[in-house]
Amino acid sequence: MEIHIGDRIAQVELISKEDNKVVIQIDDKTYDLDVVMAENGVCSILNNGKSYNAEITKSDNGKSYIVNTHFNTFPVQIVDLQAKYLRSRKKDDTDEMQDRIFSPMPGKVVKILVTEGQVVEPGQSMIVIEAMKMQSDYKVKKGCTIKQILVAEGDTIDGGQTLITLE
Amino acid sequence: MEIHIGDRIAQVELISKEDNKVVIQIDDKTYDLDVVMAENGVCSILNNGKSYNAEITKSDNGKSYIVNTHFNTFPVQIVDLQAKYLRSRKKDDTDEMQDRIFSPMPGKVVKILVTEGQVVEPGQSMIVIEAMKMQSDYKVKKGCTIKQILVAEGDTIDGGQTLITLE
Amino acid sequence: MIKKILIANRGEIAIRVMRSCKEMGIKTVAVYSEADRTSGHVLYADEACCIGPASSKESYLVIDNIIEAAKRFGADAIHPGYGFLSESSAFVRRCKAEGIIFVGPSAEAMIAMGDKISARETMIAAGVPVVPGSQDNLKTIEQMKEMVKTIGLPVMLKATAGGGGKGMRLIRQESEIEDAFFSAKSEAANSFGNDIVYIEKYIESPHHIEFQILGDNHGNVIHLCERECSVQRRHQKIVEESPSPLMTPALRAEMGEKAVMAAKAVNYSGAGTIEFLVDNDHNFYFLEMNTRLQVEHPITEEVLSIDLVKEQINIANNLPLRLKQSDIVQIGHAIECRICAEDTENNFMPSPGIIKQLTEPLGIGTRVDSYVYEGYEIPMHYDPMMGKLIVWAVNREYAIERMRRVLHEYKITGIKSNISYLRRIMDTPDFVSGKYDTHFIEKNSDFLLKTTYEGTKDETEDIAIIAAYVDYILNLEENAPQDTDNRPISRWREFGKQKAMLRI
Amino acid sequence: MIKKILIANRGEIAIRVMRSCKEMGIKTVAVYSEADRTSGHVLYADEACCIGPASSKESYLVIDNIIEAAKRFGADAIHPGYGFLSESSAFVRRCKAEGIIFVGPSAEAMIAMGDKISARETMIAAGVPVVPGSQDNLKTIEQMKEMVKTIGLPVMLKATAGGGGKGMRLIRQESEIEDAFFSAKSEAANSFGNDIVYIEKYIESPHHIEFQILGDNHGNVIHLCERECSVQRRHQKIVEESPSPLMTPALRAEMGEKAVMAAKAVNYSGAGTIEFLVDNDHNFYFLEMNTRLQVEHPITEEVLSIDLVKEQINIANNLPLRLKQSDIVQIGHAIECRICAEDTENNFMPSPGIIKQLTEPLGIGTRVDSYVYEGYEIPMHYDPMMGKLIVWAVNREYAIERMRRVLHEYKITGIKSNISYLRRIMDTPDFVSGKYDTHFIEKNSDFLLKTTYEGTKDETEDIAIIAAYVDYILNLEENAPQDTDNRPISRWREFGKQKAMLRI
C-alpha cells in the first residue's frame, strides 16, 4: 500500500501481526515492532527496544493523518485502493486550479477587497481575516474572475469554509 | 423523577431548558443553572454565578453514576420508569441474601479457606485476595453452604467476578 | 482586608491570580465573554459572571460591565492582570469612585508613565538615563552636527512622518552626516510630503532588560532584580530569563537603583516594571514603564522565591512591604518560554482550534502556568498564548538542560504550537552561550526554522508512517469505518442546541 | 562518565530518575513487566525492555533479567530507585561483577546497615545514640531492675516471641516493675510457650525524623538536614515535611553530625537516609538507615534547591561532592503528600483501575512527581502510590495553604484516591499547629474520616444530582441509549487480540 508523507511516497506492507507485535515493511526496511495505541491517539512504538511516541489526529475518511513525533509534525495520507481510484478520477482538475478562497483557521472577516464579477490579477488580495489579534490577507495565485462572495465584513468564519468562489 | 444519592431519595424535575440554561427542581428547591458538560464527563455548573465542577463516571445502563464534587464522591442512581419496574420485580430477592462471594476490585487469589459442600458459620473467612501488596479476606455474613468454588489459588480475578457461590 | 477579588481578565493570568487568592483564603470572581464559558478561569473561580459577547471590545474592555459584575458579586477588589484594562487610568478612577480597591498603582502614576513623552521627561527629571536624542526638528546641518556632538556617534536619523525604513539613516562616522541629512530629508519629503527629521543615539547590540519593582502605599520601593527579554520577534517576547547573562553585580545595583528612582518619581505603589535598553558596554537607557504585572513575572518569582501576586494583594491591603532591598538576592536561574497556538513554519499564523491531546511537563524544577486542557477549544478572539513554561535550576546551564527536557515532555496536538521552535532556541549557540541581543531571532532565523529534529529524517518519518498505518489497520479491524475522527470535536457539549422543552 | 543508565524500577521513581538523566544528556533504559507495557516510564525512556510477567518476583526482582537487559542495551550504570532491588547487596555485587556501575552504596555498607542488630552495634560503636535497652534475656527480677536503672523509666517490657501486644507491659514507675515482670513472663509462656522477655526505653510522643546524607567515593560525607515523617498510618508515611516543626538549629546540628558519623562508620557513598526517633524533649535515637533514595526525597530537594538524582549520578561518576556542609541551608518550607489509589473510607483498600479523568495541579510552588495519565489502567500488582504532590513556600503556614490549593486542583476519577483524606490532614489542628507525632493518624482518625467537606451536605449533593441528571438527559436527547459508559475502558488497545494475518 502507498502512504504519502510530505513529498515522500512510501510502500508499506504488513508482514505479520500477533497481539501487539507487528512486522511492517516500509520501502526496503523491515521493522519488527511492539505497538500499542491509546484511544486518544497516542501511540507507543518500541522498535528493537527503542521507545518512540507518536500522537496522531485524523480527518477526511480516516485516511488523512497529522502525526507528531518528537518535535516534528507530519501530514500522512493512506492511499488504499479506494483512495487511489478517487485520486485517478481527480487527476483532471489538478491542484493548480484555484476555484475558491478559504482560510485554514477560524476567524473574522475584517475586509473584503473585491466585488463579484471583478477580474483580478495574480497575487491580488481578496479578503482580510483576523484571528487571535493577527490579520492575514488572502490572495489569488492566478488571474481570474470573482464568481461569488459568500461572506460579509464582520462575519465569523470557520476553518476551511469557502469565502469567495473564483472562475 | 426519582434520583437516589446515598441514602437520600430526591424528586428531580426539569422545568425548562434553553441552550445551556436549565431550570431544575430538586425536592422543594428550584435551581436556575448554566450547565456545560465535557465529553470526558467533566461538568461545569454555574448556579447563580457560583461555579461548581463535578466529574462523573457512569456504568450500568447509563443510570448509575459516581459523581465527584469538591472532595466528596457520591453514588447517584437515576430511577426512571424502567428502573422502577426492574426494582419492583427485584424486591423479592432482598440484598440480605448473599449468594456469592466477589471482590470489588481486581486481584489475585492468595488462599482458598473452604471446600465445596462445606457448611460455614457467619463471619467465617472464605478466601484471601491480594491487590497492590495488600491482602483482604472475604467473609460470609450468614451461615450457609459452599456451593461452588470457581477460582483456584494463584488465579488472577476481575473486579466483580464471582469467586464462590453459596446456598 | 480584601475578602473577594474579581479578576478582570481571562486565560492563564486569571488563573495565576486566582491560585494566589485561593491560597490566601480570598474568594474569586471570574468574568467571561460568551466565547469563554468553558475557559479554565471560569471553572477555577468561586463565582463567574458573563460580561458580554466574544469581542473583547464588548466584554473584557467594557468598564461598566466589569464594575457591575464586581458589585453584583460583592467583590471588594479588582485585579486587572495584564493587557485589557490593566493600564487604563479611567478604569482605576472608576474603581476608586465605586469604592472598589484596584490592585495596582494610582491613576496618576499610570498616566505619568503611560504617555511616552511625559514618561521620558519624568525620567530625565528623576535622573534616570533615557536614549539620548531629541525629537526636535533638525532644520539645518549645523543643528544636526551640534546634536551629534552631544549624543555621540553612532546615531540614527529618523523622519517624524517615517515608516518602513524610509527617511532613516544610520550614521557611524562624522563624514557621513552631511550626505545622510540631505538625502534623508529629500527622501522623507518625497515619500511623506514632510521633511522633518530628528536623531537618536543608535544602540548597538541592544538588550531588552527590565527591572521588577514593588512599591507600597507608605513610600517604600524596592527592586526585584532583572529579567532578560531580548529574545523577541516583532517586539513580542518569546523567551525570558533571570538573571540576565549580560548582568554584573555592579550594573545590577546601578540599574536597580535607577529603577527604584523611576518608580519613586511617580509615587508608584504596587508591582511594576521598568524596561531598559542596554548595550554591550553596559550603557543603559530607560525605555518605558509597565504599570502592571508582566507576562514573564514568574521567572522573578522563581529566582527570588516570592509570590508577586500575594505581594500585590498585600500592598493593596495597605500593608507595608514585607521585604527589604537587602532581602533580595537572586538564587539560581530561571527561564520562561511562552507556549503559543501558532504555526511557526507558516509565518507564525495563529492556530486556534481544539486541543486533542495534551501532556504538560511535570517534575523537579518545572512550573506550568496555563489555562487550557484536553478537549478545550482555543477561541480565535484572543491572544494565541496558551500558557507559560518556567524552569528553575541552580545555574543557567542546568536551566537550559531542564528547559530542553520539559519542552520534550510537552505534547499538544489538534492545533499548531511553537514548542519545537522554542526547543530549537534552546539549542541555538547564541542562546546557549548567553551572547544574544534583540537581533537574536532575526539573526538565527534559518537555524530556528529547520524543520527536522532529533534522529534522522527517514527514521522519524517511518515512525509517523507506522503510527498512522497501525491506526488505520485498527479501524479496519474494528469494522467501524467512520467518516471522520470519532474523537470529540470539542469536549464541551452545548447543553441542548435545540430549544426543546422536556418533561420526564 | 556514565552515558546510559538502566532504571531497575517502575512508576513515578523511574520517571523521576529519567528526568534528571535526560537533563544530563544520559540515555535511559526502562525495564517493564508484562503488566507495565503502557506505564508512563516505558513511554518516557529512550529504550525499554520487557523483563518478565506481572508478578514482581518474576520481573522487577529478577537480578538475571535486569542484568541481561542492561547488557543488551549497553547500559553502563543501573539506578535502582527505591523498593525492589534497591537494598539488595547481592544485586550490587552482581553489578560489580558484570562491570556495571550501581548508582548507590557498596554492598558492604548495605550489609552493615541492612541487618538491624549489626546496624545497632555499628551505631553504638560509632557513638550514635540508639534506643536504650537490650534484647538480652532478662532471667531474674534483679537483672530487670538493674537494666531499668541503666535505661531509665518509662520502659517497655516485651516478649521475644511476642506479637499482638501479648506479653507487653508499659512500665512508668518503679513500683510496677515486679508485677509487670512476672505477669508478662507467665502470659508469654502461656501464649507462646516461651517466656523470654527483654526491655527497651519507651519513647513518648515519638517523632519520626530522618536525615538525608550524601557521601562520595573520596570519604566526604555531608548531611542535607531533616525530613519530618511522623504522619504515618501502619508505618506507611503519608505526609512529609521539611523542616520539621520540632527542630531547632542546635538539635539539627547535633543530629546532622550524628547522621554523618553514622554514614562514615560504614564508609557510605551515595545518597542515604538515617532515620531517628525523637521525643518531645529532643532526645533522639538511631532507628535504621535506608541505603537508597527515599520516596520523600523531593522535599529535601525543594528546601535545598538541589537535584538528588543528579548528585547520585555525579557520585557514581566518582566525582567529589559538589557541595560542602556550609552550603547546606534550608530555605522556606516544603510538604509532600503521597497520592494513592486507595479507598480511605473503606479501610484504605487498594483501588486499582482505569483513570477516567485526571487534572494535575500546576502553577507557582507546585511539583508533581507521578507516572499516571488519563486513560491509564493502574495495575493491581504493585504499590497503590500514583505519585507525589510537593509544594514549596516561604514558610510553613504558606506551604499548608498552598497544599490545600493544589489538593483542591487535583481531580481524579475512575478509581478511588486519598486526595480528600490528605485535604483533611491539612485542616487537622494538630497538623496545622505542627504539634504532632507518630500517633497523629490514630489520634485524629475520627476527624480524618469525616465524609463531607466544604459547603453544606445538601448543596453538594444537589450539585452531584444535577451533574448526573444533565448527563442522563443529554444521552436521552442524543438517542444513543448505550448499555454502559461509552468512554474508553482503557485508552490502550491491545493491537489485534485475534491472531490474524492481514495483507493489504
Position D503 scores a pLDDT of: 30
- Rounded to an integer, the average pLDDT of B138-151 is 89
Neighbouring-strand partners of residue B41: none
CA distance D387 to D373: 11
Q: Which of A108-117, B50-59, D157-166, D305-314 has maximum average pLDDT?
A: D305-314
Higher pLDDT: D266 or C204? It is D266
Residue C37 annotated among the catalytic residues of the structure: no
Sequence ranges of the domains in chain A? 2-79, 96-166
Share of chain C above pLDDT 70, in %: 92
Point out the least confidently predicted range of A111-120, B127-136, C46-55, D315-324: B127-136
Higher pLDDT: D494 or D322? It is D322
Task: Among B5, B29, B68, pick the best mutation site for testing chain D contact (most D Cβ within 10 A).
Answer: B68
CATH number at C132-201: 3.30.1490.20
Please answer yes or no on whether A18 and D45 come within 8 Å at the CB atom: no
| Percent helix / strand / coil, chain C, rounded to 5 | 40, 25, 40
First to last CA, chain C: 48
CA distance D19 to D6: 13
Q: Indicate which residues of D carry an active-site annotation.
A: 292
Chains that touch D (3 or more CB pairs under 8 A): A, B, C
- Rounded to an integer, the average pLDDT of C5-32 is 98
- Rounded to an integer, the average pLDDT of D54-65 is 96
Position C499 scores a pLDDT of: 31
Position D490 scores a pLDDT of: 63
Position C269 scores a pLDDT of: 97
Cell of residue C280, nine digits: 554591550
| Residues with Cβ within 8 Å of residue A81, at least 6 apart in sequence | none
Intervals of CATH 3.30.470.20 along chain C: 207-457
Please answer yes or no on whether C357 and A47 come within 8 Å at the CB atom: no
User: Tens digits of per-residue pLDDT, C288-313?
Assistant: 999 999 999 999 999 999 999 999 99
Position D334 scores a pLDDT of: 98
Mean predicted lDDT score pLDDT of chain C: 91
Nearest Cα of chain A lies from the Cα of C34 at a distance, in angstroms, of 14
Position C502 scores a pLDDT of: 33
User: Tens digits of per-residue pLDDT, B31-40?
Assistant: 999 999 887 7
Chain center to CA of B102: 14
Please answer yes or no on whether D493 and A16 come within 8 Å at the CB atom: no
Helix axes of C11-24 and C308-316: crossing angle, nearest 10 degrees: 70
- Rounded to an integer, the average pLDDT of D100-106 is 98
| Residues with Cβ within 8 Å of residue A46, at least 6 apart in sequence | A33, A34, A35, A52, D42, D48
Rounding to the nearest 10 degrees, give the CA dihedral for residues D233, D234, D237, D242.
Answer: 70
Query: What is the ipTM, given to two decimal places?
Result: 0.88
| Element housing C186 (H / E) | helix C177-192
The DSSP string of C243-309 is S-TT--HHHHHHHHHHHHHHHHHTT--EEEEEEEEE-TT--EEEEEEE-S--TTHHHHHHHHT--HH
Task: Among B28, B56, B158, pick the best mutation site for testing chain D contact (most D Cβ within 10 A).
Answer: B56
Position D244 scores a pLDDT of: 98
Residues of chain B with a CB closer than 8 angstroms to some CB in chain C: 1, 13-14, 16-20, 22, 34-40, 42, 44, 46, 49-51, 53, 80
Position B89 scores a pLDDT of: 64
Give D502's pLDDT tier (boundaries 50, 70, 90). Answer: very low
Please answer yes or no on whether B17 and C496 come within 8 Å at the CB atom: yes
| Element housing D264 (H / E) | helix D249-265
Position C41 scores a pLDDT of: 97
| Residues with Cβ within 8 Å of residue D412, at least 6 apart in sequence | D339, D355, D357, D358, D359, D386, D419
Per-residue burial over C347-378, b if 16 or more Cβ lie within 10 Å, else e, is ebbbbbbbbbbbbbbbbbbbbbbbbbbbbbbb
Q: How many CB atoms lie within 10 A of CB D103?
A: 27
Cell of residue D487, nine digits: 468512554
Intervals of CATH 3.30.1490.20 along chain D: 132-201
Nearest Cα of chain B lies from the Cα of C376 at a distance, in angstroms, of 9
CB within 8 Å of chain B, chain C residues 38-57:
38, 42-49
Strand, coil or helix: what is D69? helix
Please answer yes or no on whether C360 and D365 come within 8 Å at the CB atom: no
Residues in chain A: 167
Higher pLDDT: D260 or A79? It is D260
Nearest CA in chain C to D472: C504
Give D92's pLDDT tier (boundaries 50, 70, 90). Answer: very high
Cell of residue D166, nine digits: 501479648
CA distance D461 to D467: 10
Give B90's pLDDT tier (boundaries 50, 70, 90). Answer: low
When CB atoms are compared, the residue of D48, D488, D496 closest to A39 is D488
- Rounded to an integer, the average pLDDT of D346-353 is 89
Q: Is the dihedral of CA D108, D112, D113, D115 positive or negative?
A: positive
Check if the beta carbon of residue B36 is closer than 8 Å to that of residue C38: yes
CA distance D213 to C41: 43
Task: Among A3, A11, A20, pick the best mutation site for testing chain D contact (most D Cβ within 10 A).
Answer: A20
Position A161 scores a pLDDT of: 85
Please report, for residues C407, C440, C450, D117, the alpha-carbon distance to residue C424 in angstroms, rounded to integers and kept in the order given. Answer: 10, 13, 8, 56
> Exposed, middle or buried by CB within 10 Å (0-12, 13-18, 19+), for D390?
buried
- Rounded to an integer, the average pLDDT of D438-442 is 95
Check if the beta carbon of residue D184 is closer than 8 Å to that of residue D168: yes
Strand, coil or helix: what is C160? coil
Give C411's pLDDT tier (boundaries 50, 70, 90). Answer: very high
- Rounded to an integer, the average pLDDT of B99-123 is 88
Question: Is the link from the previous residue into C243 a cis peptide, with omega within 30 of 0?
Answer: yes
- Rounded to an integer, the average pLDDT of D37-62 is 96
Share of chain D above pLDDT 90, in %: 72
Position C164 scores a pLDDT of: 64
Superfamily of the domain at D207-457: ATP-grasp fold, B domain (3.30.470.20)
User: Tens digits of per-residue pLDDT, D231-247?
Assistant: 999 889 999 999 999 99
Q: Which chain D residues are Cβ-neighbours of B73 within 8 angstroms?
A: 416, 420
CA distance B121 to B140: 8
Q: State yes or no: pLDDT of B131 exceeds 80.
A: yes
Nearest by Cα to C419 from B33, D467, A70: A70
Amino acid (1-letter code) at residue C40: G
Specify the pTM.
0.90
When CB atoms are compared, the residue of D30, D499, D503 closest to A14 is D503
Point out the least confidently predicted range of B53-67, D142-156, D171-185: B53-67
Q: Tell me how many degrees the CA angle C244-C248-C252 measures, rounded to the nearest 5.
A: 80
Nearest CA in chain C to D303: C305
Please answer yes or no on whether D491 and A50 come within 8 Å at the CB atom: no
- Rounded to an integer, the average pLDDT of D49-55 is 96
When CB atoms are compared, the residue of C468, C482, C487 closest to A40 is C487
The DSSP string of D421-449 is HHHHHTT-HHHHHT---TTHHHHTHHHHT
In the block, cell 537508597 appears at: D292
Position D479 scores a pLDDT of: 54
Nearest CA in chain A to C404: A71
Give C112's pLDDT tier (boundaries 50, 70, 90). Answer: very high
Position C307 scores a pLDDT of: 97
Cell of residue D176, nine digits: 510496677
The DSSP 8-state label assigned to residue A24 in this structure reads E
Catalytic residue among C16, C120, C292, C367: C292
CA distance C288 to C286: 6
Please answer yes or no on whether A26 and C467 come within 8 Å at the CB atom: no
Mean predicted lDDT score pLDDT of chain A: 86
Chains that touch C (3 or more CB pairs under 8 A): A, B, D
CA distance C227 to C244: 6
When CB atoms are compared, the residue of A53, A76, A106 closest to C465 is A76
When CB atoms are compared, the residue of B24, B70, B76 closest to D454 is B70
The DSSP 8-state label assigned to residue D191 in this structure reads H
Q: Which chain C residues are Cβ-neighbours of B80 within 8 angstroms?
A: 504
Task: Please tell me if residue C487 touches chain A, with a CB cutoff of 8 Å.
Answer: yes
Please answer yes or no on whether C501 and B16 come within 8 Å at the CB atom: yes
Please answer yes or no on whether D463 and B78 come within 8 Å at the CB atom: no
Give D497's pLDDT tier (boundaries 50, 70, 90). Answer: very low
Nearest Cα of chain C lies from the Cα of B16 at a distance, in angstroms, of 6
- Rounded to an integer, the average pLDDT of B135-157 is 89
Q: State yes or no: pLDDT of C440 exceeds 90.
A: yes
CA distance D117 to D135: 10
CB within 8 Å of chain A, chain C residues 370-389:
374, 380-384
Higher pLDDT: B56 or A133? It is B56
Higher pLDDT: D84 or C165? It is D84
Nearest Cα of chain C lies from the Cα of D403 at a distance, in angstroms, of 8
Give B46's pLDDT tier (boundaries 50, 70, 90). Answer: very high
Position A103 scores a pLDDT of: 83
CATH class of A96-166: mainly beta
CA distance D333 to D162: 41
Strand, coil or helix: what is B140? coil
Check if the beta carbon of residue B121 is closer than 8 Å to that of residue B73: no
Point out the least confidently predicted range of D118-132, D249-263, D424-438: D118-132
Q: Which chain C residues are Cβ-neighbours of A52 within 8 angstroms?
A: 463
Q: State yes or no: pLDDT of D131 exceeds 80.
A: yes
Task: Please tell me if residue D492 touches chain A, with a CB cutoff of 8 Å.
Answer: yes
D4-103 CATH fold: Rossmann fold (3.40.50)
CB within 8 Å of chain A, chain C residues 332-351:
341-342, 349-351
Check if the beta carbon of residue D238 is closer than 8 Å to that of residue D295: no
CA distance A131 to A110: 10
Point out the least confidently predicted range of A131-140, C121-130, D6-15: A131-140
Q: State yes or no: pLDDT of D483 exceeds 50.
A: no
Q: Which of A72-86, B52-66, C74-88, C160-174 has maximum average pLDDT?
A: C74-88
CA distance D252 to D256: 6
CA distance C309 to C412: 28
